[in-house]
Amino acid sequence: MNVPFLDLHAGYLELKPEIDEAVARVLDSGWYLMGEQLEAFEIEYAAYLGVRHCIGVGNGLDALHLALQAMEVGPGDEVIVPSNTYIATWLAVSQTGATVVPVEPDQGTYNLDPARIEAAITERTRVICPVHLYGQPADMQPISDLATRYGLLVLEDAAQAQGARYQGQRVGGLGHAAGWSFYPGKNLGAMGDAGAVTTNDDVLAARVRLLRNYGSKQKYVHEIQGTNSRLDELQAAVLRVKLRHLDTWNARRARIASHYQQALQDTDLQLPVVLDQTEPVWHLYVVGSRQRDVLQRQLTEQGISTLIHYPCPPHLQGAYRSAGWSAGTFPISEHIHAEVLSLPIGPHLTDDQVEAVVQAVHHVSVTG
């Protein structure tokens, strides 16, 4: 049996009548940017998360970058980021002219290790940017406590965690602001690029609103030098439809994850560790193996598609060559990058496909 990593087309087919109708309504309206679909999505997503403000933007990278700009982060400032994350977290900081200060993750949860943050704080530090990696909430309480103690801001990179909860509260309102991506493969995904900033802070919200649209509230009046990063009406209409199904789809992911957790317990894979008081949304189901490349090859031979998130940490990418980090600088992150493998998980995997993955992994662990 062939098991795809993620079937986006199946997601469209399930909601086709609703999505087609929403898209047709936008096309017929003759209004394609900064209209009622965006306004409605912003209100609905803020309500879903329980935050005061949601500002739609062009993509997740812009969301993080605009939030940092609204926080007035710039050259000379430092921002603490996880050493293991998708490179967008780092690029958002670098685009402001500020310096990334990578901090190593916890080996078990793959998320920023709060115990390592304090040593990285200097008088230039302005923001801590935890990432809810793979859909698992970062340990926000100790991070917020540190931020309060040192007068820092907290920006959540929530791109992989639409709907996840920490201490009963949805992520995205746990810091001063959060950046979201609605890239098609995320748990809440558009049919193209889209993103958002959420915040409970009225001042930050007003700044992001100005920044995303040429620094303008009123046409042809430009209060600041903004950019063009808007969430268009078609994407907003699609996201409104999909938001209504997000909890159901996340619940399907959780069911698959819980099946994997039980069925793979007897293997020597490192299975995901879930922190107390968190409800992950299983954007990815990531296992660790010392024989990761062999495991991946043998799963591929059995028709099981897997991916590696991520094959190379940001500090060893060409993009950060000028910073001069060499192999061995962030050993925990490097170790993680060498061992992780993401098994298929998505709301449209069938029970048979999930079972095929489990069987294939068992087959590999005995033979390989």
Ligand X SMILES: *Cc1c(COP(=O)(O)O)cnc(C)c1O
Catalytic residue IDs: 186
Which of 153/178 has CB closer to ligand X? Answer: 178
The total number of residues shown for the chain amounts to: 368
Could you tell me the two tokens for 253?
Answer: 């992911």
Query: Count of residues binding ligand X (CB under 6 A)?
Result: 15
Which of 179/288 has CB closer to ligand X? Answer: 179
User: According to CB under 6 A, which residues from 145 to 164 bind ligand X?
Assistant: 157, 159-160
Least distance CB 237 / ligand X (angstroms)? 18
C-beta atoms surrounding 259 within 10 Å: 16
E runs forming strands in 90-176: 99-103, 125-128, 153-157, 165-166, 169-170
> Cα–Cα distance between 81 and 314 in angstroms, integer?
11
Least distance CB 115 / ligand X (angstroms)? 22
Q: Does 353 bind ligand X (CB under 6 A)?
A: no
Least distance CB 156 / ligand X (angstroms)? 10
Could you tell me the two tokens for 266?
Answer: 């007897």
Least distance CB 1 / ligand X (angstroms)? 29
User: How large is the greatest C-alpha to C-alpha distance in the chain, in angstroms?
Assistant: 68
Least distance CB 189 / ligand X (angstroms)? 10
> Cα–Cα distance between 86 and 109 in angstroms, integer?
16
Supply φ then ψ for residue 278, to 5 degrees: -125, 150
Which of 59/353 has CB closer to ligand X? Answer: 59
User: According to CB under 6 A, which residues from 53 to 92 bind ligand X?
Assistant: 59-61, 85-86, 88-89
| Contact between 52 and 46 (Cβ < 8 Å) | yes
Site string for ligand X, 322-351 (x = CB under 6 A): ------------------------------
Least distance CB 60 / ligand X (angstroms)? 2
Site string for ligand X, 187-226 (x = CB under 6 A): ------x-x-------------------------------
> Cα–Cα distance between 160 and 268 in angstroms, integer?
27
Supply φ then ψ for residue 355, to 5 degrees: -65, -40
| Contact between 254 and 282 (Cβ < 8 Å) | yes
Site string for ligand X, 119-148 (x = CB under 6 A): ------------x-----------------
Least distance CB 129 / ligand X (angstroms)? 10
Nearest to 67 by CA among 207, 273, 257, 276: 207
Which of 96/353 has CB closer to ligand X? Answer: 96
Residue 142, C-beta contacts closer than 8 angstroms, at least 6 positions apart: 114, 115
Residue from 181, 199, 200, 289 in contact with ligand X (CB under 6 A): 181
Which of 181/235 has CB closer to ligand X? Answer: 181
Could you tell me the two tokens for 105?
Answer: 């993750």
> Cα–Cα distance between 255 and 29 in angstroms, integer?
40
| One-letter identity of residue 151 | G
Least distance CB 157 / ligand X (angstroms)? 5
Which of 88/143 has CB closer to ligand X? Answer: 88
| Contact between 11 and 347 (Cβ < 8 Å) | yes
Residue 302, C-beta contacts closer than 8 angstroms, at least 6 positions apart: 356, 360, 363, 364
| Contact between 2 and 354 (Cβ < 8 Å) | no
| Contact between 168 and 156 (Cβ < 8 Å) | no
Which of 113/358 has CB closer to ligand X? Answer: 113
Q: Which residue is at the shortest CB distance from ligand X? A: 60
Which of 60/137 has CB closer to ligand X? Answer: 60
Residues in contact with ligand X by the rule CB under 6 A: 59-61, 85-86, 88-89, 131, 157, 159-160, 181, 183, 193, 195
